[in-house]
Amino acid sequence: MRERELLIYKDFGEDGRLLEDMAWLMENYKDEFYNTEDVKALLYECMHELLEMAGDLGFYGNLWHCYLTNLLVNNENSYSRACEIVGNIEGTINAAVLQDIVIFKEFYDYDFTDMMDALQVKGFEYILNYEAKDGKSKVYNARIRDRICTLAAKFKENQSPDEMKDTLTEFYRDYGVGKFGLNKAFRVVHEEDGARIVPIRNIAHVSLDDLVGYEIPKKKLVENTEAFVNGRKANNCLLFGDAGTGKSSSIKAIANAYYDKGLRIIEIYKHQFEDLLDVIAQIKNRHYKFIIYMDDLSFEDFETEYKYLKAVIEGGLEKKPENVLIYATSNRRHLISESFSDKEGRRDDLHASDTVQEKLSLFARFGVSIFFCAPDKKEFNTIVKTLAERHGITMPTEELILEANKWELSHGGLSGRTAQQFIDYLLGTQM
């Protein structure tokens, strides 16, 4: 086979080793120069790797096709990056890509019958028609896994390399490519050579409708986010207010709601702010919309990491990319701690107003600030009743409210989080 002739789709890394081995087997399984038992052993090793892949990634159906498809959807090259979210592009690169797709289609259409008969290998039918009991994946969520398996089946149906190329390009347009295309949320890992953006595989499947109440805050958040994903002007956003009121859950909800529109969330902590510029450099030329998310953001007077953030948000020489916004949650409106001793110290500060402005300027750089307040008793009871109904709890309403009010007195007070914890308690004690 011709895997060495690939022009665009190359550099598969460790994942490409199996392709090389299978290509070698296709070319040499009849060659009398090689010991038959060694060739047979290599084939069994390849089959083992495909079955292990099915276990790790949750693939089903034709595992060989799923493997090839996984290579194509994860290979970030000049063509796939150009097509992500925007679709077809013009230019000579299309001819080079088509040449590669011709080679991949040969792999897809390869008939293993002669190889199995020649080597007297049994069990390859498990590779061609694999059924997964639970289909759980250690790498992808179920939705992404299903998309890859479905794409593999579509490739098999394509009658020509041109059709296969169109199918692949359509996938890039709808979902993107690589880690940014197949995942909705990420975290940052600091390494010696810089920041590395790592997928968060399992994000809670919360929606904005799951957050009872808070209609005005949710509306403001949705309006700003929709403007952003639709290419209109949008602002950095600060969600502040009482603990347990749904600020962090709201961010998770918009990550789920707008993933299909190209929105991605990158979570970063304040001790990583020195990596912010590196992170932005890695994402600024991609076609996705990125929200850099900072949870529970606040600074004590002695912490100076906020200076990195100020420069990134607004004020540095380099303009912040149009595809990047910063969303933060905090229990504080004014993110940097102030104390009465600060006021006393201003007597000795020749420029006291400058000191105040230094501490307030970070908050001012968030164009949209959204307040999440703790519910009153009536609102808390409404949240409890709504959550109980959603989870099928049939306790009489008066008893439910009585027990919920007892619970909140010793479990954090009136908040949506306390209400959810109470419902979880009831669900856990049900027989």
DSSP 53-95: HHHHH---B-HHHHHHHHHHHH---HHHHHHTTT----STHHH
**Where would I find the beta strands (DSSP E) of 164-250?**
185-191, 194-199, 237-241
Contacts 24+ apart (CB under 8 A), 207-210: 207/253, 207/256, 207/257, 208/250, 208/253, 208/254, 208/257, 210/249, 210/253
Please give the pLDDT value at position 323: 93
Tens digit of each residue's pLDDT (9 = 90 or more) over 284-293? 999 999 999 9
Report the distance separating Cα 40 and Cα 21, nearest Å.
Answer: 12
Instruction: Provide mean pLDDT across the span 45-51.
Output: 95
- The confidence band for 101, taking pLDDT boundaries of 50, 70 and 90, is very high
- Give the three-class secondary structure for 265: strand
Please give the pLDDT value at position 228: 96
Q: Per mean pLDDT, which range of 93-107, 171-185, 363-377 is the poorest?
A: 363-377
- List the one residue out of 1, 203, 170 whose CA is nearest residue 86: 170
Q: Which residue has the higher pLDDT, 114 or 210?
A: 114
Q: Is the pLDDT of residue 341 over 80?
A: no
- Token reading at 140: 């992808």
Q: Is the pLDDT of residue 163 over 90?
A: yes
Please give the pLDDT value at position 52: 93
Q: Which residue has the higher pLDDT, 47 or 353?
A: 47
Report the distance separating Cα 354 and Cα 50, nearest Å.
Answer: 64
Please give the pLDDT value at position 272: 86
Query: 272 with 195: CB under 8 angstroms?
Result: yes
Query: 256 with 200: CB under 8 angstroms?
Result: no
Q: Tell me the one-letter amino acid at 173.
A: R
DSSP state of 431: -
Please give the pLDDT value at position 186: 95
- The confidence band for 172, taking pLDDT boundaries of 50, 70 and 90, is very high
- The confidence band for 351, taking pLDDT boundaries of 50, 70 and 90, is very low
Q: Per mean pLDDT, which range of 16-20, 92-96, 316-320, 413-417 is the poorest?
A: 316-320
Q: Is the pLDDT of residue 315 over 80?
A: no
Q: Is the pLDDT of residue 431 over 50?
A: no
Q: Which residue has the higher pLDDT, 339 or 384?
A: 384
Q: Which residue has the higher pLDDT, 237 or 347?
A: 237
What residues contact 139, with CB distance under 8 A and at least 6 apart?
56, 57, 58, 201
- The confidence band for 210, taking pLDDT boundaries of 50, 70 and 90, is confident
- The confidence band for 316, taking pLDDT boundaries of 50, 70 and 90, is low
Q: Is the pLDDT of residue 417 over 50?
A: yes
Q: Is the pLDDT of residue 126 over 50?
A: yes
Phi, psi dihedrals of residue 325, rounded to the nearest 5°:
-125, 160
Label the pairing between strands 194-199 and 237-241. Answer: unpaired
Q: Does the global pTM surpass 0.75?
A: yes
**Buried-exposed string 384-418: b where 16+ CB fall within 10 A, e elsewhere:** bbebbeeeeeeeeeeebbeebeebbeeeeebbbbb
Residues in the chain: 431
Q: Per mean pLDDT, which range of 18-22, 29-33, 277-281, 318-322 is the poorest?
A: 318-322
Average pLDDT, the chain: 86
Q: Is the pLDDT of residue 225 over 80?
A: yes
Query: 336 with 362: CB under 8 angstroms?
Result: yes
Q: Is the pLDDT of residue 359 over 70?
A: no
Q: Is the pLDDT of residue 340 over 60?
A: no
- Give the three-class secondary structure for 196: strand
- Helix 17-28 crosses helix 36-57 at what angle (to 10 degrees)? 150
Query: 251 with 169: CB under 8 angstroms?
Result: no
| Alpha helices (runs of H) in 230-288, residue ranges in sequence order | 247-257, 276-283
**86 exposed, middle or buried (CB, 10 Å; 0-12, 13-18, 19+)?**
exposed
What residues contact 288, with CB distance under 8 A and at least 6 apart?
84, 85, 176, 180, 262, 263, 264, 323
Q: Is the pLDDT of residue 86 over 90?
A: no
- Strand-pair partners of 83: none
Please give the pLDDT value at position 352: 47
Q: Which residue has the higher pLDDT, 358 or 239?
A: 239
